[in-house]
Structure 1
Amino acid sequence: MIETFQRRLPSGITLSCRAAGVPGRPLLVFLHGFPEAAFIWDELLEHFADPAHGGYRCVAPNLRGFERSSAPTEVAAYKPQLLVQDIHQLVATESADGKMAALIAHDWGGAFAWGFANAFPAQTGRLVIINSPHAGTLSRELRESETQRAASAYMNFLARPDAEALLAEDDYRRLWPFFTNMKAGEDGFGWLTEPLKQRYREVWDAGLTGACNLYRVTPLKPPQEGQSIDVIPVLPRERLTVNVPTLVFWALDDSALLPGLLDGLEDYVPDLRVRKVPGATHWIVHEQPGLLAEEIGAFLGKA
């Protein structure tokens, strides 16, 4: 059974959370991306909370700026280190020793999970990344791959000052294509049901400024017209290495995040397993939760 609660952190940020399992058990934390919310993890929360599948304490926060979590309006409040701090403080409230068995994350959640594992490897346990690029390979691909720059062009739209107003128009007509352009609603990809669409509306009705601020604050997006490729930073290696056992799922029909983002990933992540999934898209959490549950369970069992 899913429980919901509000967790006020020492920083003053409040995160609305969804959880399953008994407090005090080994902790799994799940991080969502854009334009989603913590509810996408419900099936996996219940699966891994079941004693038959590990009996974990499973917690999925809504990131700051999403659903009923705190949503500061200023762009600077969405710097990556602040969202990593949110996770760190949340884990401290949910785990007696401040550690997780694993951190599991998708899309923007993955960006902060990569950062958390770099900064706090001893507290991460294991890392599971689902279609979320590592900053080192993303920086390289944005600088060197015209194809990836074109695939990432939507980021500049979402960073516009009027992005949230445009996204909200006409029953979110500019948001639904994020799903439908990657097969949602087609045969075999019928996960985007009307009840689920209503759940998304309720999340988006709470506001989109925080979500758009993630795109405004990041320098890791394609240069705009007239900008040099040099606006894309090359980050220092010490901020990129991840020294925890890591499993990366990559749905190969993700039209925004291309497989080239996997090239060279092992240079930053020495203990790496990559599971490529043909025929799946960026929304694999919705499309194939059973596959994720099975393979994450096997990965956790290697501990």
Structure 2
Amino acid sequence: MIISLIRLRCACSIFGILLATLLSQPTGSADIWKEAQHGFADNKGIKIHFATVGNGPLVVMIHGFPDFWYTWRHQMDALKNDFKVVAIDQRGYNKSAQPLSPEAYDMPQLISDVEAVIRHHGEEKATVIGHDWGGAVAWQFAFSHPQMTQNLVILNLPHPNGFMRELTRNHVQRSNSAYAQTFKKGNASDSDVFFGRAMTPENLAGWITAPEIRQRYIAAFEKSNFDSMLQIYKRNYPDLPKWNAAIQQNAVVLKCPTLMFHGLEDQALHSDGLNNTWDWIDAEFTLMTIPEAGHFVQNDAAEKVSRTLKWWLMNHH
């Protein structure tokens, strides 16, 4: 389902017509692994690794847990002819720095990495795209750096207000989030911390089935710091008693065009969290829900996401 809204909640019917035309067009299948160029942005001594393809308006992509820059391979291929696409490794992951201090994984530090990447490329603003924890960083970046956020694209991570509302009131969401409490209380060395299993590169890559891609994920996780991955949960996952204060903190109404994708088979993030998102966005807001896709919607529905994303971005630059 695709819903396109402005603040007055008027449907943009032409979106569906144009999108249907777009979805009939093929996309490429280049090997971004070989094509991408690599570099590092410096954030006060913290080196943030990125992979980049293409030229044009800057698009910054932020992965979630457990993942790395390569999760965006399909979207990078789709956008490379029209945009400069920069997919980062969040701190703690793959080739990016892995500071030991727990405070280094506080949300303001994660946000500052995105700012450093944008400035490294000589730009003052960018389209910011995030999935899962990358989506959380993208939301917060848009709240705190509106002047640097040209467009916002979020994949399978409801607006913080919607998520926290469901976390406190929806027993399904609370049940779905039980794993996060394990991450917050546990240690990376615990034998059952990762959904009843140990945190190993092989287990973290368990959702990848294609052999060659799976090996790339395992290699990336071998370079990563599992304690750092969990610190992002420990330092930033909301505590229920604090939800009212957190919602007040996120009371900023966004002024930038926003596109959201949500795979409805997500077992971690209930789609009820999407309700009322339009109340917190004072700009064009487009929501695409995909029934057959799960949490990793950018891979589960790669062609739908890539084509829609390209069409949307071409109409917002």
Give TM-score, length-normalised by structure 2: 0.81
| Residue number among 81, 99, 102 corresponding to 2:125 in the alignment | 99
- What's the CA shift for 1:114? 0.4
Q: Deviations over 1:158-212 (max 9, x none)?
A: 22342355358485565356x3xxxxxxxxxxx6212222122112212211111
Whole-angstrom distance in 2 between the partners of 1:127 and 1:204: 28
Deviation at 1:152, TM superposition (A): 0.7
> Structure 1 counterpart of 2:245, which letter?
V
Residues 133-152 of structure 1: pairs in structure 2 closer than 5 A: 133-152=158-177
Q: Is the Cα contact below 8 Å between 1:219 and 1:232 reproduced in 2?
A: no
Alignment partner, residue 264 of structure 2: 252
Deviations 1:17-38 (A, max 9, x none): 100013xx31011110000000
The answer to whether residue 99 in structure 2 is matched with residue 75 in structure 1 is no
Counterparts of residues 142-221 of structure 1 (less than 5 Å): 142-166=167-191, 167=194, 169=198, 171-172=200-201, 175=204, 179=207, 192-206=209-223, 207-220=225-238
Q: What does residue range 1-303 of structure 1 map to in structure 2 within 5 Å?
A: 1-9=35-43, 11-22=44-55, 25-50=56-81, 55-96=82-123, 98-100=124-126, 102-166=127-191, 167=194, 169=198, 171-172=200-201, 175=204, 179=207, 192-206=209-223, 207-220=225-238, 229-235=240-246, 236=248, 239-271=251-283, 272-303=285-316
Q: Distance in 1 between matches of 2:179 and 2:109?
A: 24
CA 1:132 to 1:45, structure 2 compared with 1: closer, same or farther past 3 Å?
same
Rounded to whole Å, the distance in 2 between the matches of 1:169 and 1:142 is 26
- Cα distance change, pair 274–80 in 1 and its aligned pair in 2 (3 A): same
**1:83-107: per-residue Cα shift (whole Å, max 9, x none)?**
11111121011134x111x111111
The equivalent residue for 2:3 is: none
Larger RCO (CA under 8 A, 6+ residues apart): 2
Alpha-carbon offset, residue 69 of structure 1 = 0.6
1:205-261 deviation line (CA, Å, top 9, x unaligned): 12211111111112415xxxxxxx424453215554221100110110001101111
- What is the TM-score with the length of structure 1 in the denominator? 0.84
- Deviation, 1:285, is 1.4
AA paired with 1:89? Answer: A
Matched-pair contact (CA < 8 Å) for 1:219–1:231: no
In structure 2, the CA distance between the partners of 1:200 and 1:240, relative to structure 1 (3 Å rule), is farther
Does the 8 Å CA contact 1:18/1:61 hold for their aligned counterparts? yes
Q: Distance in 2 between matches of 1:138 and 1:289?
A: 24
User: Which secondary structure does the structure 2 equivalent of 1:241 belong to?
Assistant: coil
Give the gaps of 5 or more residues in structure 1.
180-190, 222-228
Per-residue deviation at 1:81?
Answer: 1.1
The answer for unaligned runs of 5 or more in structure 2 is 1-34
| Contact 1:138/1:220 (8 A) holds in 2 | no
1:40-74 Cα shifts (integer Å, max 9, x gaps)? 11232232111xxxx21110110111111111122
Amino acid of the structure 1 residue aligned with 2:218: R
SS at match of 1:15: strand
SS at 2:60 equivalent: strand
How far, CA to CA, are the matches of 2:311 and 2:54 in structure 1? 19
Tell me the amino acid that sits aligned with residue 132 of structure 2.
Answer: D
Alpha-carbon distance change, 134 to 58 in structure 1, aligned in 2, over 3 angstroms: same
Distance 1:143 1:216 in 2: 18
